[in-house]
Amino acid sequence: MGDWFPGEETLVTLRCLFVDFNSFFASVEQQDEPRLRNRPVGVVPVMSPTTCCIAASDEAKKHGIKTGTPVWEAVDNCPDLMLVEARPARYVDIHHQLMAAIEDCIPHGKPASIDEVPCRLIGRERQRDNAIAIAGRIKQRISDEFDWIKCSIGIAPNQFLAKTASDMGGRNGLTVLEPSDLPHRLHELKLRDFCGIGPSMEQRLRNAGIWTAEQLCGATKEHLRAAWGSIEGERYWMQLRGHEMPERATKRSSIGHSHVLDPSLRSFDGARSVLFKLLAKAAMRMRGDRNGGPFLAGGMAIRIRFVGMEHRFERDLRFAPIDDTPTLLHLLAEALATLKAAGLRGSWHAKRNPPLSVAVTLFDIEPCGRASGELMACRRRDRQMTEALDRINDKYGNNSVFFAAMSQAVKHDAAPMRIPFQAIPERQRDEDVVTKARAAASAEELYLLRERQFKVLAEASHRETQRRGDTPRGKNAPRSGAAGWGAARQQPSEHDTIQRSLF
């Protein structure tokens, strides 16, 4: 241990207790609907065979189903899988209740995401027995309120190791990593078990000669810096040794949204309406950002994927910094006119290759204070209109008033509130009034609706599996996430070459 903490043994102690809720989205669904308990459950963003699971229950994970598993593959691997459409607003409500329960036991820090939060240990709380007692009180407090939602807790010298420890004890587990446990307790892990090591980073480590956790822990600071290609490698070296590193300053560079279209919206008008709604949502977030904002955007990226076609519609626009919704929607409409023209002249066949998924991103954002005021009267009117819409929607609910071009998307409740990885949405601001109305249905009606949706989706997924081939993934099945956003590119066919000049 002396080589691991050279001259610093007395400085490293238990400083962080990390709470990680197990299979959070699926557990909330099982908490609310007892008929889903002890059954494999997959949570999906939309009830469509072309989407993927965004969460899986412990029972589903035993069948190899995880975040990112395509629905057709999940149903093929587990015919008894129950698919449930995500309810972000409900997850946010439960998150706040759980944070309040933890606060009854110990003050917590800023949640790392909707299903995990660090708690700082101070004074006598850093003694092992006291820290374990606090963890026990947290588990008991949560079980008093929720009988199905469980959490794993890790206790360690820093947040990085505490988060790692929370994954070492399994469901509802408790793991303590004291300085005397390091580094040998980490040797049992795989590289991908460590925070911040995904597929690409794992490959970079292997290229640097690091194949095991033991080799990772034994590497020098210089070796890890070379493997990461930046100072981040040195930070990782320090965190492995229990040092608490200051949070890195981050600068927001873009705000955007994407959505897999419901089959009823897979047309030019449907895709256009959803894109308008996504853009209005991104602009609203940009104006209301409390982390360095409000902001102005100097560019917009538009992406549309199509069924049965490798080529996608792409437009990157640049303009003077703006933030008002009418101007942004006008720019989007102009960009989409080229796609409509392609359909009219027959170079894009909307029925043969309908839109599958859409995305819009505002980039080159900068704080409002850096831009000068508006001189043109029409631009001032657009900003005043935007401010009025924001005030109305803040008071009566999101999209209580909206632009007519968004009506089809709003009617179908397309692109509802989603939960980003490292942020907690504000339900009052982000949840649509249409979504709230749907949530008012009784639990029995909701369960019966989900059951009907699941049967239709299971049949469609089974047909998709047969179409792709008789192997578990299908002979020609692309390895990709929702709507193929992460699909590996194949060699272009003659048809694809022709398609590249469509738009």
Helix H or strand E segment including 310: strand 309-322
DSSP secondary structure string for all residues of 100-124: HHHHTTS-----SBTTEEEEE--GG
C-beta atoms surrounding 53 within 10 Å: 28
What percent helix, strand, coil does the chain show, rounded to 5? 45, 15, 35
The SS3 of residue 46 is coil
Strand intervals (E) in 250-308? 254-260, 295-306
Q: DSSP class of residue 398? A: B
Cα–Cα distance, 309 to 301 (Å, whole number): 20
Distances (CA, A) of 100 to 106, 162, 413: 10, 21, 31
Distances (CA, A) of 370 to 68, 242, 335, 390: 40, 41, 27, 22
Cα–Cα distance, 267 to 275 (Å, whole number): 12
DSSP secondary structure string for all residues of 340-380: HHHHHTTSS-TTTS-EEEEEEEEES-EEGGGSPPP-SHHHH
Cα–Cα distance, 136 to 174 (Å, whole number): 9
Cα–Cα distance, 51 to 45 (Å, whole number): 7
Q: DSSP class of residue 63? A: T
Residues 6 or more apart in contact with residue 393 via CB below 8 angstroms: 284, 399, 400, 401
**What is the arrangement of strands in the sheet containing 41-44, beginning at the earlier edge strand?**
55-56, 41-44, 82-85
Instruction: Provide the total of helices (H) and of strands (E) in the chain, helices listed first.
Output: 18, 12
In the set 116, 232, 244, 426, the catalytic residue is 116
Q: Would strands 366-367 and 82-85 be described as parallel, antiparallel, or unpaired?
A: unpaired
**Active site annotation includes 188:** no
Q: What are phi and psi of 325, to 5 degrees?
A: -65, -45
Catalytic residues: 116
